[in-house]
A and B are shown apart, each in its own frame.
Chain A
Amino acid sequence: GAVVSQHPSWVICKSGTSVKIECRSLDFQATTMFWYRQFPKQSLMLMATSNEGSKATYEQGVEKDKFLINHASLTLSTLTVTSAHPEDSSFYICSAREREEQFFGPGTRLTVL
């Protein structure tokens, strides 16, 4: 299957700082990428859909000014958590779509102190 990478794999930051997470499709081009969030022992929840060259679309209840998404190329989408707080601590996972299938990255563990 297609390979998706994420960087960093984990990050610890102080409350109030911003954190950027990168998602790359390594062996295919993805016009659409998705960002999910997963709290411990819970399922994945879709946060937003990232389309190359256009604005992201956010799911209900997700603050677009807090979770900034940029999809500047066919292989890279970034998620920036602005002014992070402890309640933003979670496992953030991206996926990239190839035809109908979605391939997931390995995830980024964010801990906000």
Chain B
Amino acid sequence: GENVEQHPSTLSVQEGDSAVIKCTYSDSASNYFPWYKQELGKGPQLIIDIRSNVGEKKDQRIAVTLNKTAKHFSLHITETQPEDSAVYFCAASIAGADGLTFGKGTHLIIQP
């Protein structure tokens, strides 16, 4: 089955700086890669996703890149703000078919 590795487990950045979280996946059949933000005691919130026919996608301060050959994808958050503090999860699946396989999560801390 699919295996998703996520790094780092904790990331602390100064407010206004950029944050990058990286994930790798094992199953070459996976073609859908969402990113979720989870605040304490709440369900995950979809923030951005990318499909394997696209190399990069951007939505305001958030961007995701995908390297199919290397089987890795990354989340980039620019101009970080205090409200960006949360746990971020990457995930992989075969679109329209399977449930998601999640990475272990990254606790992002924005230092004022």
Q: Bits for B69-108, please: 1 = Cβ < 8 Å to A, else 0.
A: 0000000000000000000010000011011111111000
The chain B residue with its CB closest to the CB of A10 is B41
B8 to chain A minimum Cβ distance, whole angstroms, is 14
- The reply to whether A44 and B104 contact each other, CB–CB distance below 8 Å, is no
When distances are taken between beta carbons in the complex, the residues of chain A under 8 Å from B44 are 44, 93, 104
B75 to chain A minimum Cβ distance, whole angstroms, is 15
- The reply to whether A43 and B45 contact each other, CB–CB distance below 8 Å, is no
A108 to chain B minimum Cβ distance, whole angstroms, is 10
When distances are taken between beta carbons in the complex, the residues of chain A under 8 Å from B95 are 100
- The reply to whether A44 and B89 contact each other, CB–CB distance below 8 Å, is yes
In this complex, how many residues of chain B approach chain A with their Cβ under 8 Å: the count is 22
- The reply to whether B104 and A43 contact each other, CB–CB distance below 8 Å, is yes
Q: Bits for B7-35, please: 1 = Cβ < 8 Å to A, else 0.
A: 00000000000000000000000001010
- The reply to whether B104 and A100 contact each other, CB–CB distance below 8 Å, is no
Size category of the binding interface on chain A: 20 to 34
**How many A-B contacts at CB < 8 Å in the complex?**
55
- Measured CA separation A20–B32 after assembly (Å): 31
The chain B residue with its CB closest to the CB of A103 is B46
- Measured CA separation A17–B81 after assembly (Å): 45
Chain A interface, DSSP helix/strand/loop, else mixed: strand
Q: Which of A42, A59, A104 contacts B104 (CB 8 A)?
A: A42
Q: Which of B34, B43, B98 has the most CB of A within 10 A?
A: B43
A45 to chain B minimum Cβ distance, whole angstroms, is 8
Q: Which of A4, A6, A42, A100 contacts B96 (CB 8 A)?
A: A100
Q: Is A8 engaged at the interface, CB distance under 8 Å to the other chain?
A: no
Near B by CB (< 8 A), chain A positions 78-113 give: 93, 95, 97, 99-107, 109
- The reply to whether A49 and B43 contact each other, CB–CB distance below 8 Å, is no
- 16 A-B residue pairings within 8 Å (CB atoms): A4-B43, A6-B43, A34-B100, A42-B105, A43-B89, A43-B103, A99-B96, A100-B32, A100-B51, A101-B46, A102-B46, A102-B99, A104-B43, A104-B44, A104-B45, A107-B42
